[in-house]
Every structure is written in C-alpha cells, then in structure tokens.
C-alpha cells in the first residue's frame, strides 16, 4: 500500500504550505488546493485520484469549508472520505456547524502538529477498519438473514426489526427486505406508514412452486428508506395459509439478491417462525428487565 493521500484545502498559501511540509515530512502524499472550487474541479475530473483524507479551512473566499464539506458528503465518490476542519474560527457554534456539515473532526489553529498527525492517523485507521468490514459483509453473495425475536410480546421486536432494516438500507445505500412474519398482527408496513396492496397471502395463493423473481419483486412494497416490506396478510384468518415451506422458499429466493434480510417475528414458536429462525444467520433476542421476560427468554434459549 502506498502513502496515504491527503488533500489540503486552504486559501492561505502560507498556511497550506506549512501543513503540506509537515505532513510530507511525516510520510503522507499531499495535494493542495487554494479554494474549494479548485478542489472540486480536481476531484470531479474522470481520472481524479481521490484522497484518503481531506483537511479543509473553513473561512475562504467563494465556497466556504462547510459548503465544501457538504459537497463531499453529497457526492457518492467522496461521501466516505474523512474530513478534518482546520480553522482559526473557534467557538462551539462554529464547531457544531462543522460537524453538521459532515466533518469528522474540527481543530482550531494554531494546531499542534503532533496532535494533527495523531488525529489523521486515527481517522485513517478507522476508515481502513470500516472498509475491511464492509468488504467482508458486502462481498458475501448471500444475504445475512437477521431475525428479531422474543417470546414475550410488546418488548419492541417489531420496532427493532423496522429500525434495523431502515438503518441497514441507509448505511449500505441498498435495498433491504423486511419480512413480516407476525402473521396475525403484523404491522411493519404500518410502522413505515405504508399501505400494502400486497402481502405474503398473495404468494400463498399461488403456492411455493409458482413463485418467481418477478412475482416476489411485485409483492415487496417499497419504502423511501430503501426497505422493501413483505407484509403480513391483511387479516388474521389468512395467517394459516402461510406455510413454513412458503416462508423457506421466499427467504431462499431473496437471499442471493440482497446483502441483508430482516425478519420480524411473532412472540411464539409456531412452525413458520421456527422455519425462519432455523434459516437465520443472526437471531436478535430481545428482553426487558422483568422476571417474566427473563423466564421466557431462558426458555427460548433452551
């Protein structure tokens, strides 16, 4: 691996030069831009070599450091690059503005060079660790199936399942199916303010053999977050039509198409739930600090 590449953006030539010399002496490859506009022009060329980290001044003529940071965060190619704001603008509200613009760190000049170097190294190390984890999870050709479960009702299983699906979709900028197996009282769609026109019952009508990718895609209701809800049947009496085989087929078909699947479950060990738990890579078992809940959780673990 080559030297980490750092882009310094500062309208003061003297300040830029001081940072550049210092970082170059510490073994970094340093690029300098004297305005946010210049940096953006360089980063936007088709053959641009992206930096591993950006150090930006805040007060600059034209586009300021906050706007520049927002541009970086709004651009898919640069959204993950760590940004340190280095500025003479002190005060809590300036820092808050910096963090709100998407900065990872905020240092007030004059900064101790040793401290600057340490903060750069910490951010680079964290970035590298995050990329390694992302590579491991996202390279997997099969979705990880995450089921959320509790034998006690009302502890927040559905809330956690819905929030987990939304968080995964947003974190990885991908679609995440949320399969609602609380067949008699499912309300994943309701929690996302969706009015489902389709549900698992549509699939049960056709039978497991007749399900293809197009049919499955049609019943996964889209939410703006990227979550795709496979809703529970619209009425409780249809719950019986959903068989363990059907659910097994659906999970198996969805698995190669997405990095994650989240499953919301009812608070019982019915056959459909057991089939889903069996197929899960991760089971999130929820409990609240009450004796009754501890008792059923112990039973569930057994």
In the complex, what is the shortest distance from the CB of residue 165 to ligand ADP, in angstroms, rounded to a whole number? 13
Pick between residue 56 and residue 158 the one whose CB is nearest to Mg ion: 158
Residues 84, 88, 92, 96: is their CA dihedral positive or negative? negative
Which of 36, 39, 157, 203 contacts Mg ion by CB under 5 A? Answer: 157
The SS3 call for residue 6 is strand
Q: Is 157 an interacting residue with respect to ligand ADP (CB under 6 A)?
A: yes
> Interface with ligand ADP by CB under 6 A: which range of 4-12, 95-103, 157-165, 200-208?
157-165
* Candidate list 16, 151, 182, 262; residue touching Mg ion; CB under 5 A: 182
CB of 201 to Mg ion, least distance (A): 18
Q: Dihedrals φ, ψ of 281, to 5°? A: -85, -35
- Among the residue ranges 35-43, 78-86, 155-163, 229-237, the one whose residues contact ligand ADP (CB under 6 A): 155-163
107 sits near Mg ion (criterion: CB under 5 A): no
State the binding partner of 29 from Mg ion, ligand ADP, none, CB within 5 to 8 A by kind. none
Positions 198 through 257 that interact with ligand ADP (CB under 6 A)? none
* Beta strand pairing call for 144-149 and 5-9: unpaired
- Long-range interactions of 155-160: CB distance < 8 A, separation 24+: 155/286, 155/287, 155/288, 155/293, 156/286, 157/182, 157/264, 157/265, 157/267, 157/286, 158/182, 158/187, 158/188, 158/191, 158/264, 159/191, 160/284, 160/286
Structure tokens at 125: 């190390």
Out of 87, 147, 150, 158, point to the residue binding Mg ion (CB under 5 A). Answer: 158
Do 6 and 30 touch, CB atoms closer than 8 A? yes
Judged by beta carbon, residue 133 or residue 268, the one nearer ligand ADP is: 268
Q: How far is the CB of 137 from ligand ADP (least distance, A)?
A: 26
227 binds Mg ion (CB under 5 A): no
Residues that contact ligand ADP, how many (by CB under 6 A): 8
Residue 189 interacting partner from ligand ADP, Mg ion, none (CB closer than 5 to 8 Å by kind):
none
Reading the block at residue 78, the tokens are 């640069």
Residue 24's contacts (CB-CB under 8 Å, 6 or more residues apart) are 30
Angstrom CA distances, 244 to 143, 183, 220, stand at: 19, 12, 19
Q: Specify the residue, 182 or 204, whose C-beta has the smaller distance to ligand ADP.
A: 182
Asked if residue 138 lies in contact with residue 259, where contact means CB atoms within 8 angstroms, the answer is yes
147 binds ligand ADP (CB under 6 A): no
Contact positions toward Mg ion, by CB under 5 A? Answer: 157-158, 182
């Amino acid at each position: 691996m080559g030297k980490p590449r750092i882009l310094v953006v500062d309208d003061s030539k003297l300040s830029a030069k001081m940072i550049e010399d210092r970082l170059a002496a510490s073994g970094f490859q340093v690029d300098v831009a004297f305005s946010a506009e210049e940096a953006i022009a360089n980063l936007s060329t088709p053959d641009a070599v992206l930096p591993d980290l950006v150090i930006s001044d805040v007060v600059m003529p034209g586009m300021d450091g906050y706007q520049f940071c927002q541009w970086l965060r709004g651009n898919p190619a640069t959204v993950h690059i760590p940004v340190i704001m280095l500025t003479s603008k002190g005060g809590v509200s300036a820092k808050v503005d910096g963090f709100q613009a998407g900065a990872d760190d905020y240092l007030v000049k004059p900064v101790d060079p040793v401290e600057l170097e340490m903060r750069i190294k910490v951010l680079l190390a964290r970035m590298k660790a995050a990329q390694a984890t992302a590579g491991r999870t996202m390279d997997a050709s099969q979705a990880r199936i995450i089921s959320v479960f509790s034998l006690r009702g009302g502890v927040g299983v559905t809330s956690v399942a819905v929030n987990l699906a939304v968080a995964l979709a947003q974190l990885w900028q991908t679609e995440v199916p949320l399969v609602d197996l609380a067949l008699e009282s499912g309300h994943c769609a309701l929690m996302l303010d969706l009015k489902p026109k389709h549900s698992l019952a549509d699939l049960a009508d056709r039978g497991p053999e007749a399900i293809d990718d197009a049919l499955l895609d049609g019943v996964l209701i889209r939410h703006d977050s990227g979550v795709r809800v496979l809703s529970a049947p619209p009425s409780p009496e249809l719950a019986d039509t959903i068989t363990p085989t059907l659910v097994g087929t659906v999970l198996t078909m969805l698995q190669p198409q997405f990095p994650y699947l989240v499953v919301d479950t009812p608070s019982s060990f019915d056959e459909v739930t057991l089939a889903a738990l069996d197929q899960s890579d991760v089971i999130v078992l929820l409990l609240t600090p009450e004796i009754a809940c501890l008792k059923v959780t112990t039973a569930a673990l057994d």
